Amino acid sequence: MTETILRGRVLSFRRRPEGVSDTDALDWFEDGAVHLRDGMIVAMGDFDRVAVPGVPVTDHRPHLITAGFIDTHIHFPQVQIVASWGAQLMDWLNIYTFPAETRFADPAHAARMAKAFYDLLLSNGTTTASAFCSVHPTSVEAYFTEAEGRGMRMLGGKVLMDRNAPEALQDTPQSAYDDSAALIDRWHGRGRALYAISPRFAITSTPAQMEAAGALIARHPECHVQTHLSENLDEIAFACSLYPEAEGYLDIYARYGMLGPKSLLGHAIHLSDRERAVIGETGAHPVHCPTSNLFLGSGLFDEAALRAHGATSGIATDIGAGMSWSMLKTGGAAYAIAQLQKRSLDPLTGFWWITRGNADVLGLTDRIGTLQAGTEADITVLDSRATPELAIRMEAAQDLKDELFALLIMGDDRAVVETYVAGRPSRPR
């Protein structure tokens, strides 16, 4: 049995805050503690109440202890193309993405990139992500094997693509089904691994492959589904031209049974009110990728409009079009996008979103995203004075709101003191 108590300033969320004054939405302990035993959280609260004689204490004071960050849309094979210059979505895929993904047929390359991928996640305090692998089963094997070695709760799956991609990146409807089914049998529910059925997007799948994906989803309702939706106006026009019988882009996915509470719809920027209503009615989850949308000039995600239709949105880095691995930076970018829409993302909601909010979207709040007793001990420790810029800002900070906002706007991997995975210190040194 392994057992320890983490001491520090402890923050966890009970629900989405309704503004900066909504302290009922959170648990906050100025001198707090989280009791860990065998990879699980036993208790959270004031240190004097949680401390147990004989159990060792790791003292993180004055640092902030939160649930580990969660990234709901990221591309494992795009580790090496972050900050690739000069194109919008469709050109960017052809010039940078597809050539990079072709290399993941090589097991040695995939394994080396998996090590770098997880080092970068953990350095930034991210303990769970949902990732697209390449079309090659070798990439999925490398992805889950490395996650298993680190004890991480990760979601992912091979992309399905049988057209509008280089030949080396194409499968077939049958091979896509067979490979995915075999990978689900091998990995889903093994340790902390969860499989996500991953048709890349309607443009790269024929109707026959979409039917195969729909059959796979029907056979495995326990699995998540992830794809891309309405990121770019040219993309929307191309997708709709390939499926002229559909009533818009979202309807393509609806026709193949891809919408439901386990569906993650990356980007979802250019939507009609009818499409927003369908997303809300089906329980599917749009995923906001703010730095990626800015980088590719795709448009402004309207979280408020989606929420008004009953949809709960995730937030994600979208590496490699995303500009940062940091969920702190991602939250800061979401604030900027809200400002451009004459709205405001408050710092409590920002921190909720990258922890419990994303756990809610994944349907995993009973396991991750909070520091509640009985959940898995994935934890991030933050130093709000980690850089000179943060330190001078914190001299004038008056409350928790100021501290959290400073971390969202100026924080990055340098603010991450430690990342615990299943109770084990795991931040690469």
Query: Percentages helix, strand, coil for the chain, rounded to the nearest 5?
Result: 45, 25, 35
Q: What is the pLDDT of residues 247-259, one digit of tens each?
A: 999 999 999 999 9
Q: What is the pLDDT of residues 82-137, one digit of tens each?
A: 999 978 888 989 999 999 999 999 999 999 999 999 999 999 999 999 999 999 99
CA distance 227 to 265: 5
Percent of the chain residues past pLDDT 90, beyond the cut: 98
Q: Which amino acid is at 303?
A: E
**Statement: residue 231 has pLDDT above 80:** yes
Local confidence band at 4 (pLDDT 50, 70, 90 cut-offs): very high
Local confidence band at 28 (pLDDT 50, 70, 90 cut-offs): very high
Instruction: Identify the helix (H) or strand (E) that includes residue 10.
Output: strand 3-13
Question: CB–CB of 114/136 below 8 Å?
Answer: no
Q: What is the pLDDT of residue 429?
A: 87
Q: What is the pLDDT of residue 421?
A: 98
Local confidence band at 1 (pLDDT 50, 70, 90 cut-offs): confident
Q: What is the pLDDT of residue 17?
A: 98
Average pLDDT, the chain: 97
Local confidence band at 284 (pLDDT 50, 70, 90 cut-offs): very high
Q: Which amino acid is at 158?
A: K
Question: CB–CB of 121/64 below 8 Å?
Answer: no
Q: What is the pLDDT of residues 30-47, one digit of tens each?
A: 999 999 999 999 999 999
Q: What is the pLDDT of residue 345?
A: 97
Q: What is the pLDDT of residue 142?
A: 98
Local confidence band at 64 (pLDDT 50, 70, 90 cut-offs): very high
Q: What is the pLDDT of residue 86?
A: 76
Classified as helix, coil or strand, 112 is helix
Domains and CATH numbers, the chain: 3-68+369-425 (2.30.40.10), 79-325 (3.20.20.140)
CA distance 126 to 355: 9
Local confidence band at 386 (pLDDT 50, 70, 90 cut-offs): very high
CA distance 349 to 25: 10
C-beta atoms surrounding 185 within 10 Å? 12
Cα-based distances in Å from 55 to 10, 44, 67, 162: 19, 15, 21, 55
Q: What is the pLDDT of residues 317-370, one digit of tens each?
A: 999 999 999 999 999 999 999 999 999 999 999 999 999 999 999 999 999 999
CA distance 169 to 161: 7
CA torsion angle 249 250 256 258 (round to 10) = 140
Q: What is the pLDDT of residues 153-198, one digit of tens each?
A: 999 999 999 999 999 999 999 999 999 999 999 999 999 999 999 9
Cα-based distances in Å from 198 to 100, 123, 127, 169, 204: 18, 26, 21, 14, 12
Of residues 188, 144, 367, 156, the one with CA closest to residue 264: 156
The DSSP result for 20-62, as a single string, is TT-GGGEEEEEEEEEEEETTEEEEEEEHHHH--TTS-EEEEEE
Q: What is the pLDDT of residue 29?
A: 98
